[in-house]
Amino acid sequence: MKIDEFLSEASSVAIFGHVRPDGDCVGSTTGIYNYIKDNYPGIGVDLYLENFPESYKILRGVSDAHSAWTAESNNGKPYDLVFLMDTPSFERVGANGAECIRSAKKTINIDHHISNPLNLCTLNLVEPEASSASEELYVNLDKSKVSKEAANSMYLGIVHDTGAFKFSCTGKRTMQVVGDLIEKGIDFAKIVNETYYTRTYKQTLVTGFVMEHCKLGLDGKVVYAYITPEDMARFDVTPVELSNVIDTIREVGGTEVALFLYPVNGKYKISLRSNYIVDVNAIAREFGGGGHTRAAGGDSSDAPEITIEKILGLIRQQL
């Protein structure tokens, strides 16, 4: 059974992404949300998303999102169908959604993480070779039913997970999908400019601070940095506003791995990126996380200096 077959049997649907939603998470969740709203007016559909960058409100439907699921949602009844987007484990489900997913009558997981066990839901559409969950979503939808608004969402997701098409996850099919989305009349220039290539003034200042204090390790093969709770307070930024700093750090020439740590909920969030050699997914698994071969993350309760030393040791083993 494909997505439309599941939808044809449902009267209530919920949609969840992962904690600390990024562009692909917001793009894929609002993509399926808009698809349902456009084609299945008889379905009651609820979108659940944690805090996301303000710029993503360029997408239709994103302002409809609820910040968290509660037992009273959907009048206390299990949903007929729940979508889990861009999420490889129940531990990573955002908006308090794990219990809701487990109680649903049927579930669909659409994802592209190599760490996904492929058994989270009733239907698991998981393809690690895909650039993004948004790409995976599009190829499993009825293309004739995809509106401009749904296409806008999926395009944003693809742009952010491919680094505006410069990361190695960008494939031939990715560009074919983007071509299809452009034919839908999407606002491609506005989306990429306003959500990928722009920062707020505060984000610009804190990114400059991080770059000023970044260091090189392993004979210049690794660039790393961290920020403390005190630094975040000084710049008045939240974890959501730090999510793209890693992509600036990785621009340092001659490096293979970029590493950035920042405080989230009493721990340090670990963001890892690599270019050609190092499997950062394997490293992230050592810290209870995962992701992709070239982009992954985890968490640490240790001081950032201790965590960085551990990670440098793991990188050294691969190099």
Q: What is the DSSP string of 249-305?
A: HTTSTT-SEEEEEEEETTEEEEEEEESSS--HHHHHHTTT-EE-SSEEEEEESS-HH
Map tokens 């449902």 to a residue.
10
Distance CA 111, CA 295 (A): 15
Distances from the Cα of 152 to the Cα of 25, 35, 188, 192, 240, angstroms:
13, 11, 7, 10, 22
**In sequence order, which residues have a C-beta less than 8 Å from that of residue 22 and are 6 or more positions away?**
86, 160, 161, 243
Pick left, alpha or beta for residue 137 (phi over 0 → left; psi -120 to 50 → alpha; otherwise beta): alpha
> Which residues of the chain have a pLDDT value below 50?
none
Dihedral angle at the C-alpha atoms of 205, 208, 213, 216, nearest 10 degrees? 150
End-to-end CA distance of the chain: 44
Sign of CA dihedral 144, 150, 155, 161: negative
Query: What is the reported pLDDT for 168?
Result: 86
Distance CA 303, CA 229 (A): 12
- 99: enclosing H helix or E strand: helix 98-103
Query: What is the reported pLDDT for 243?
Result: 86
Query: What is the reported pLDDT for 122?
Result: 97
Query: What is the reported pLDDT for 232?
Result: 97
